[in-house]
Amino acid sequence: MALYPLPTAIILNRITPFTCRFFPKPLSSSLFSAAAVSAATTATLPQHLSYGPSLYKGHKSSHQNSDEENFTRVFDITALRVPAEQCFSLESKLRGHLLNWPRIRNIARVAGDDIDDELKEFIGNDISTDDETLTVLERRIYGKGEGDGERMCSVLYRDKLAKTFNSIGYVKFENLAKISRPKKKKWKREEKEGNGSVRRGYGRSDMSMVEVVEEEGSGDEDFRGLLGDDFRTRKWSGSTRLLLLDERYANKGIEEMPEAIKAVLKEHNEESTRLSFEIVRCKLTLLYNYWQMNEVLEVLLPQGMIVPSAFETVGHIAHLNLRDEHFPYKKLIAKVVLDKNKPKIQTVVNKTDVIHNDYRTMQLEVLAGNHSLVTTVVENGLYFDVDLAAVYWNSRLATERQRLLSCFTNNDVVCDVFAGVGPIAIAAAKKVKYVYANDLNPNAVEYLERNCVRNKLERKIEIFNMDGRRFIDSIFASEKARPITQVVMNLPNDAAEFLDSFRGIFRNKHADKQFTLPRIHVYGFSKAQDPEFDFHEKIRIALSEVAFEVQMHKVRLVAPGKWMLCASFVLPEIVAFAK
């Protein structure tokens, strides 16, 4: 049987009640354009769907003109129409029976549920005839009280009249100043929906929309047997709200409601001769913006594929590390990540290769959004300008940087051998006495200088652009340099290999002088079964020394079986004065 091409993106199509199929589509410029899929993949829906909304539940909207609308789901629910001033008290009493879906309020507003503020004083809460209404107006015009008809004093009457009428409705009254009060500004934004329009804030948001289903005869349902003979004849003339009932009560009448709901309705009906409640059927439409990133990707990606849900954030850039199996869908994944994290995320990139150059820069591919990789990162109150195409930055090490800074005191002088754009050096400069920062990458040094000025710490940092070994030799051999107490070597791939530069750094110093042996913090990777022992051995071999104490700290698991560690130790005296 021939298969006809679908005009929409990869979407969920129901074949059986518990089976869905993903169809491939050719490359296009639509929202969810992706690499062509070689064959249709069949996915089996879960037999027992959990409580709450799901893209596997509900039914699709009849109006679908874009790829985003393929994720629109419509759910039938039942709601209780109540007076606006009673909705919050009823909400607490009906707790457990109201809709409890994430990001959906169980008190909804629809068009026409409010009356103008100017009419509330005239309508009131009681049923009144035309004659009664005229009597009320006459009393107000001539300053009579509402009850016994006694005339009010002019001061109280002016105050009452000022609160009752607007500038258009004032009557002629001697010595009464006309107060021109502007009408309350209501934020209105008309959005076209089908053949009509829906006001923002009345049943519709960028995530969901509530509509009352108009059914013939729905208003003639007789509740007199439950709530009294005169229940049906009363009508609430004020503002109303909808209390969305739990999904298990969808399409059920008042007789099928639980006793708790019936009791609340009957209680309020007996307390007031004016309150009126209605059971109405509604449509709750969940739009594309409602669904979380993992929910959308779970539908779009083939069954069994791991859904990428985590990424690193660098300013406005989302940095993905996609698996090989994700590459055919990388544009699709990036678009969803961009949509679900706006406006914070404006660019989505993926690392295409491991870091193997001396400058530690990453090979990045822009998958979605703008192509600017220059961004600003705010970390612990400090601002860092970063160009991910030219320098290295890792936001996931923010906690480790804070831990390292806690080891410093205000009397320390810090030497950062591989400073980069300055996340450690600049943060340390706020706490310690002085900082010497170095990096081999000229682009990183340029941004380091810029970040020092931006954070007003340029007087406490001296910057160098040279090889790590040469920097260590020159800074410890300098007579002008301050005595260094802390050394940071954050280059996990190669930092341990630079430790031999510390052999003999004090050999040309006078033996009778007092020297402070620096404390060294060196980072490294290890794939060994015992990573601490393995990294300790690398340090011992680099320094050609065995008997010295090293404190190990596991920073993070960067890959399966691969640990990033930080080793801290005081440089042994025998190493510092070695010939």
Annotated binding site for S-adenosyl-L-methionine: 401, 439-440, 467-468, 490
CA-based Rg of the chain, rounded to a whole angstrom?
A: 36
Cα–Cα distances (Å) from 429 to 392, 455, 456, 570, in that order, read 20, 10, 10, 21
Calpha distance 334→319 (Å, rounded): 10
Using alpha carbons, select from 324, 313, 228, 346 the residue that is nearest to residue 276.
228
Structure-token pair, residue 101: 């879906």
Number of H helices, E strands in the chain: 14, 24
Burial class (CB in 10 A: 0-12, 13-18, 19+), 456: exposed
Q: What single DSSP character describes residue 203?
A: S
What is the rounded (10 degree) CA torsion for 267, 271, 273, 274? Answer: -80
Residue for token pair 């410029």: 29
Calpha distance 523→531 (Å, rounded): 12
What is the rounded (10 degree) CA torsion for 198, 200, 201, 207? Answer: 90
Query: Do 397 and 403 contact (CB within 8 A), yes or no?
Result: no
Calpha distance 190→193 (Å, rounded): 9
Burial class (CB in 10 A: 0-12, 13-18, 19+), 346: middle
Q: Are strands 41-44 and 59-60 parallel, antiparallel or unpaired?
A: unpaired
Query: Do 9 and 22 contact (CB within 8 A), yes or no?
Result: no
**Interacting residues of 468 by C-beta distance below 8 A, sequence separation 6+:** 417, 418, 438, 440, 489, 491, 498, 501
Q: Reduced to 3 states, what is the DSSP secondary structure of residue 77?
A: strand
Q: Kindly report the backbone phi and psi dihedral angles of residue 29, in degrees, each rounded to the nearest multiple of 5, phi listed first.
A: -95, 15
Query: DSSP letters of 129-176?
Result: -HHHHHHHHHHHHTTB-SSS-PBPPHHHHHHHHHHH--SSSPPP-TT-
Residue numbering of the annotated binding site: 401, 439-440, 467-468, 490
Q: What angle do CA 129, 131, 133 make, to 5 degrees?
A: 70
Q: Which strands make up the sheet holding 12-16, listed edge to edge? A: 12-16, 19-22, 41-44
What is the rounded (10 degree) CA torsion for 490, 492, 496, 499? Answer: -20
Query: Do 426 and 432 contact (CB within 8 A), yes or no?
Result: no
Residue for token pair 């004093």: 153
What is the distance, to the nearest Å, from the Cα of residue 493 to the centroid of all Cα atoms in its chain?
34
Residue for token pair 């991910």: 388
